[in-house]
Each structure stands twice: as structure tokens, then as C-alpha cells.
Amino acid sequence: PMEARGPFQINLQTRAELSEGTLKLVEDILADYLKNGPTQKELDDAKREFAGSFPLSTASNAAIVGQLGAIGFYDLPLDYLEKLREQSQNLTTEQVKNAMSKHLSADK
């Protein structure tokens, strides 16, 4: 857990001669995504992926301890994980766009 904001990273691999154009493409895609937010299909796909992978985040004792540590560190309610699953499935494209605009900047 961290008290400060964590990093937001985009990682990719490309040939050296394509790096400048690739970086520009990534910057443009990120700027567009921050401006317009996800499409409904993109959000639906993300929700489905999260719902499918979520059980794995508590599949081991170490993972459970990590989740409990985060709950304690951030003083979250004990039903946080249960509500997180429910709330994530109820997100709208507008809510995602607003959250991304609040916390991310294409200029940084």
C-alpha cells in the first residue's frame, strides 16, 4: 500500500526505428481515451475481465493477507472486497471518464 499516488504506466515493445511514431500513437490514444472515455463495449469487456479475474486476487493465503493489509492500511470497510465487485459491475462510461480525467493527465 502507498500513501501517495502510484504510477500509471503503459508498456510496449517496438523496433527502434518505429519508436517515435509508436510513442506518438500511444500519446494520441491516451489523450483520446481521457477526452472521450471508454466505449460501452470496452467497459463491458473490462467488467467481464475484472469479474473473471477477481477471484484469483484472493486465491492464495498470501493474496488474502495482502488484500487484508490494504483494507487495514486504507481503513476500508470489512466488506470492501464484496462491494468492490458489485460497484465495479455498476460503473458507467461517464463515471470511468470522470475518474480518469480526475487522476490522469496525458501531459504527465
| CATH code: domain of residue 97 | 3.30.830.10
Give residue 1's pLDDT: 54
Lowest mean pLDDT among 2-6, 15-19, 30-34, 40-44: 2-6
Confidence at residue 76, expressed as pLDDT on a 0 to 100 scale: 94
Q: Is residue 6 part of a domain?
A: no
- Structural domain contains residue 8: no
Determine, yes or no, domain membership for 41: yes
| Domain of 85, in residue numbers | 16-103
Query: What total of structural domains would you count in the chain?
Result: 1
**pLDDT of res. 106:** 80
Q: Which of 12-16, 55-59, 97-101, 104-108 has the lowest mean pLDDT?
A: 104-108
pLDDT at 2: 61
Instruction: Kindly state the average pLDDT of the residues 64-90.
Output: 92
pLDDT value of position 51: 92
Q: What sections of the chain are H helices per DSSP?
A: 19-36, 40-53, 61-73, 80-89, 93-103
Report the percent of the chain where pLDDT is more than 70. Answer: 96
* Cα torsion through 39, 40, 44, 45, rounded to 10: -30
Residue 57's pLDDT is what?
82
Collapsed DSSP state (helix, strand, coil) of residue 6 = coil
